[in-house]
């Protein structure tokens, strides 16, 4: 994944979303603000799609990463938010509006031999009965936030659970 250029528009949108995110992990803002960040792409985007009761999250069973949020690389001429919506649809068949406030900004490696990648996690709340159309080889399913699952990013379940709590708080 490393060695891809991040377009200025995408990096600017990622910085704006990272500043507004409910949580920032791994020094993501500092990582994106470095002068060389645009040369160390790609940029990643994903969706934490919760059911209406905020007890389950929609994940895909990646062939070697295990259960992860639907997401992937931000393509040229795309913002991270646009990429997140596209990836959600491609991997689950779900078209959803994303909540204005992003969930999180992170910097992490998606493969043991790849460099760190900045990413933005977006939020959606959808009906759990929504029909799913999984991408071939990556089944999509709802996972309960109180039950652990096998996944590449071991801290994501607790991060998602905290985010669900924030979403459910009265305002």
Give residue-wise pLDDT tens across range 116-140. Answer: 889 999 999 999 999 999 888 899 9
State yes or no: pLDDT of 115 exceeds 60. yes
For residue 109, whether the previous peptide bond is cis, meaning omega lies within 30 degrees of 0, is: no
- Among residues of the chain, what percentage have pLDDT more than 90? 71
| CATH of 8-168 among 1.10.3720.10, 3.90.79.10, 3.40.50.2300, 3.40.30.10 | 3.90.79.10
Structural domain boundaries of the chain? 8-168
Within 10 angstroms of residue 57's Cβ, the number of other Cβ atoms is: 23
Closest alpha carbon to 123 in 169, 167, 74: 167
The structure tokens listed for 57 are: 């999250």
The structure tokens listed for 71 are: 């997401």
């Amino acid at each position: 994944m490393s060695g891809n250029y991040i377009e200025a528009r995408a990096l600017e949108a990622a910085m704006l979303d990272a500043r507004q995110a409910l949580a920032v992990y791994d020094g993501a803002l500092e990582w994106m603000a470095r002068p060389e960040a645009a040369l160390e792409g790609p940029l990643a985007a994903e969706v934490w799609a919760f059911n209406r009761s905020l007890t389950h999250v929609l994940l895909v069973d990646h062939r070697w990463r295990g259960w992860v949020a639907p997401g992937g690389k931000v393509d040229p001429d795309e913002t991270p938010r646009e990429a997140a919506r596209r990836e959600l649809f491609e991997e689950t068949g779900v078209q959803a509006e994303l909540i204005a406030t992003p969930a999180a900004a992170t910097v992490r490696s998606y493969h043991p031999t790849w460099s760190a990648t900045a990413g933005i996690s977006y939020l959606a709340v959808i009906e759990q009965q929504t029909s799913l159309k999984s991408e071939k080889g990556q089944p999509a399913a709802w996972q309960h936030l109180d039950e652990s699952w096998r996944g590449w990013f071991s801290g994501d379940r607790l991060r998602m659970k905290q985010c669900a709590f924030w979403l459910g708080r009265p305002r």
